[in-house]
Structure 1
Amino acid sequence: MHDAGQKSIAIPLGIVIRRVPGVTRWARHVWKAVAVLPGAGKADWKELRRDEDAVEYHAATLPLELFRTDTEAYLHGLSAKVPAIYVVMRPSENEHPLEVTLATASPYEAQDYADTGEELVEKVPMPDGLIAWIRDYVELHHEDEVFIKRRRNKTRIDLKEDGIGDARIRQTSDVYRAPASKETVH
């Protein structure tokens, strides 16, 4: 069970990545995050399964952290048709093709990484036990935000005409017209 006083909790989460042959001559292989392993031990691209040309690796184990301030995002993610963990990866400079940098249950945080275009963000279905763990945390910490309607300022701002028109126009008949060039002004 979760402690109500904690600001965050974490669980180790193994990331499984599948390599399949590429379909074009420019990509020898295609890499995709396909599963997560809650409570997994440390791993560094350990081969899990091989099926002809497809190979699955336990690429890394990262902490999946939940924060009290992000329960709205977790609730949104849990209400999806298929609740998911978002795995953030980037091309690697070392012997492995990808560096797994983050695993998150927040679709909002995942969207922020996807917007940069520098990282690859994969959506991986959550196992049932992980769904229950996150749901328990949300139920313990989530507080609905009270909607406060903004009140309009009653000050009349439409009575002054400061800034209307162009100061280069001398006449007051049409203050919204564009100024004429110096040659045509009489």
Structure 2
Amino acid sequence: MSDFLTQSPETDGALHRPCVKVAVVMRRERIANPWQPWRWVLADVVPHEDGFGEQPRLLLRDEHEERWLHPGFKVELFTDDAEGYYLNVTTPQPCFWVVWRMEEEAALADEPVAVPQIVTLSYHDAGRWLDAQETVEQVPAPPDVVQWLQHFVDAHHVLQAKQRQRPQSFKSLTDRFGNPARVSTEKKFGGAGNG
């Protein structure tokens, strides 16, 4: 396994949850737009290293881009979200999702900086944040993280049996007003054979 994977105790010390400690790299890149010459994007999610420290820091700055490292994120796996991890790991490209916001970080820069808030491997978490109108971006998860996530899903996810849909013929019929309707197979009118 790579530097991504560790085992870490929950904050109360009573339970242990599988987790991955990561750092997020955000990139500010120049774009051809006279009203907004720069944009922020998620560049990468990398294994956390002790040498990164605890504070965000500028890695690179030139006329075309800036790269900022944001260390110290813990991506924990929760058994009650096994479905969300299953949905991620069964896609063609499993990924990390990162929620980030623009913040006034006077200590970091003279203008707003994109600051990651949360990193997850849960499809459900990412969907909830998107529904809440947050900025959520993704980067591919490396093969060892995908394998680790697959082991967790295998251990904790239970596929829900599909409910058999009741045939439509057994449903009671109603008219357009919701009143019970009756269908008859009796002939009410004479035809060519009656005579």
TM-score, normalised to structure 2's length? 0.66
Match of 2:30 among 21, 27, 30: 21
The answer as to 2:5 corresponding to 1:33 is no
Unaligned runs of 5+ in 2: 1-5, 8-14, 107-111, 180-195
Name the CA shift for 1:49/1:128 in 2 (closer, same or farther; >3 Å): farther
- SS at 2:80 equivalent: helix
Conservation of the 8 A alpha-carbon contact between 1:38 and 1:130:
no
Report the equivalent of 1:68. 79
Paired residues for 1:1-186 under 5 Å: 8-41=17-50, 42-49=53-60, 53-95=64-106, 96-117=112-133, 119-149=134-164
- SS at 2:159 equivalent: coil
Partners of 1:162 and 1:55 lie apart in 2 by 63
User: How many residue pairs are counted as aligned between the two chains?
Assistant: 159
- SS at 1:24 equivalent: coil
Unaligned runs of 5+ in 1: 164-186
C-alpha RMSD of the superposition: 3.2
Partners of 1:148 and 1:162 lie apart in 2 by 26
Give the superposition deviation at 1:114.
Answer: 1.1
Amino acid at match of 1:9: P
- SS at 2:82 equivalent: helix
Name the CA shift for 1:142/1:162 in 2 (closer, same or farther; >3 Å): closer
Partners of 1:49 and 1:91 lie apart in 2 by 19
Name the CA shift for 1:71/1:78 in 2 (closer, same or farther; >3 Å): same
Q: Between the two proteins, what is the percent identity of the paired residues?
A: 24
TM-score, normalised to structure 1's length? 0.69
